Structure 1
Amino acid sequence: MIQDEYFSVHAGLTINVEPLDDNTACPDDEAFRLEIPPLFRVASECSELEESTERLLSNFGSDDSKALIGYLGAQNTKINLLLSYVLSQQDDPTIRFTTRTFGASRLSFISPTPLTLGRNARIKLFLNDPPAAIYCYGEIIDCQPYGSQSGDDSDNSCDKSNYEVHLRYTQLLESDRDLLIRAALHVQQKLLRERAQQRSDS
């Protein structure tokens, strides 16, 4: 599957985006792997372990296993809370943004200043479900005045001083891409449940 085939969802994730100098290239594969901070590696491995544990626990069905499942679930919740707190310390407020859309191949966010097309950026994404943080690189592939796509100049709700920036991942671990797919699916499933609930209420 090529990158553009991954779907994106509208959701707000906390991200850090650090544009590099215009002439600075992304690191190659080996340098990128060595550069990833240890905490981000731990977060990725914990999320993978959580997924495998969930699959294992789904095979338990007897009444005797309910107490064990409850206990393991409580321990997992504690670990996730601790992990989320530790990862939050990696968030740099000076380069913090919130995604408009995200997926396993690209993301978009609103910037107060325009960014140069083709410029590379160092990115950190902080996921809520599953709780994790992703370290990667991306290339700026689009930057437009926010709201200009609507074609309606009478829409005063759009702040023309901001810019909608689209980034395409250029260095991203495959395990982290899987995390982004899971996170996007979680958002999509949540939206579907909310729509179903709204229909039943009406």
Structure 2
Amino acid sequence: MIQDEYFSVHAGLTINVEPLDENTACPDEEAFRLEIPPLFRVASECSELEESTERLLSNFGSDDSKALIGYLGAQNTKINLLLSYVLSQQDDPAIRFTTRTFGASRLSFLSPTPLATGCTVRMKLFLTDPPAAIYCYADVIDCQPYSNQTGDAKGNSGDKNNYEVHLCYSQLLENDRDLLIRAALHVQQKLLRERAQQRSNS
């Protein structure tokens, strides 16, 4: 599957965006893997284990297993809460933004300053469902003026002119791409449930 085939959803993820200077190049695949902070590796592995556990538990159906499923579910919730807290410590407010759209191939966000098309940025993405953090690199593929009437790129209220920046991932682990697919599907399923509920209420 080529990157353009991945769908994007309109949703706000917390991200950190750090543009590289002209003298800093995007690392190759081997250097990139060595550069990923250990905590981000742990977060990715925990999310993979959680998905495997969910598939395993779905095979249990007897009444005798309900207590075990409940216990394991509670332990998983505790781990997710702890993981979310630890990951939040990696969020840098100085370079924090919120996505307008995201997917497994690209994302967009609003910036108070323009980014040159073709420049490379170092990024951290913080997911809530599944709880995880992703470390990657991306290239700016488009940057256009955007008049935001409800708030600026960092969540402040008021009328402010921003720039809508579109990024395409240039270095991203395949496991992390899978996490982004799961996160996008979760957002899409949530929207579908909300629409179905609205139709039933009307």
Match of residue 7 from structure 2? 7
The equivalences for 1:30-49 within 5 A come to: 30-49=30-49
Q: Is the 8 A contact 2:147 2:161 kept in 1?
A: no
Q: Aligned letter for 2:53?
A: T
Task: Mark the runs of 5 or more structure 1 residues left unpaired by the alignment.
Answer: 149-157
How far 1:25 sits from its partner (Å)? 1.7
Q: Aligned letter for 1:171?
A: Q
Q: Aligned letter for 1:72?
A: L
Match of residue 21 from structure 1? 21
Q: Deviations over 1:76-112 (max 9, x none)?
A: 0000000000000000000000000000000000000
Q: Give distance in 1, aligned partners of 2:128 and 2:159.
A: 28
Q: Give distance in 1, aligned partners of 2:142 and 2:199.
A: 37
Q: Give distance in 2, aligned partners of 1:127 and 1:138.
A: 17
Against the structure 1 CA distance between its residues 116 and 159, is the aligned structure 2 distance closer, same or farther, given a 3 Å change threshold? farther
The equivalences for 1:1-202 within 5 A come to: 1-147=1-147, 161-202=161-202
- Normalising by structure 2, what TM-score? 0.93
Q: Aligned letter for 1:85?
A: Y
Q: Deviations over 1:47-102 (max 9, x none)?
A: 00000000000000000000000000000000000000000000000000000000
Q: Aligned letter for 2:91?
A: D
Match of residue 153 from structure 2? none
Q: Is the 8 A contact 1:145 1:160 kept in 2?
A: no
The 3-state SS of whatever aligns with 1:166 is strand
Structure 1 stretch 139-148 or stretch 163-172: which is displaced more?
Answer: 139-148
Q: Give distance in 2, aligned partners of 1:159 and 1:144.
A: 17
Structure 1 stretch 15-24 or stretch 103-112: which is displaced more?
Answer: 15-24
Q: Give distance in 2, aligned partners of 1:184 and 1:111.
A: 22
Report percent identity of matched pairs: 89
Q: Give distance in 2, aligned partners of 1:173 and 1:123.
A: 13
How far 1:159 sits from its partner (Å)? 5.1
Let me know the Cα RMSD of the aligned residues.
1.5
- Divergent runs of 4+, >2 A: 158-161
Q: Give distance in 1, aligned partners of 2:79 and 2:127.
A: 15
The 3-state SS of whatever aligns with 1:176 is helix
How far 1:23 sits from its partner (Å)? 3.9
Q: Give distance in 1, aligned partners of 2:201 and 2:161.
A: 40
Q: Give distance in 1, aligned partners of 2:28 and 2:132.
A: 24
Q: Give distance in 1, aligned partners of 2:123 and 2:159.
A: 25
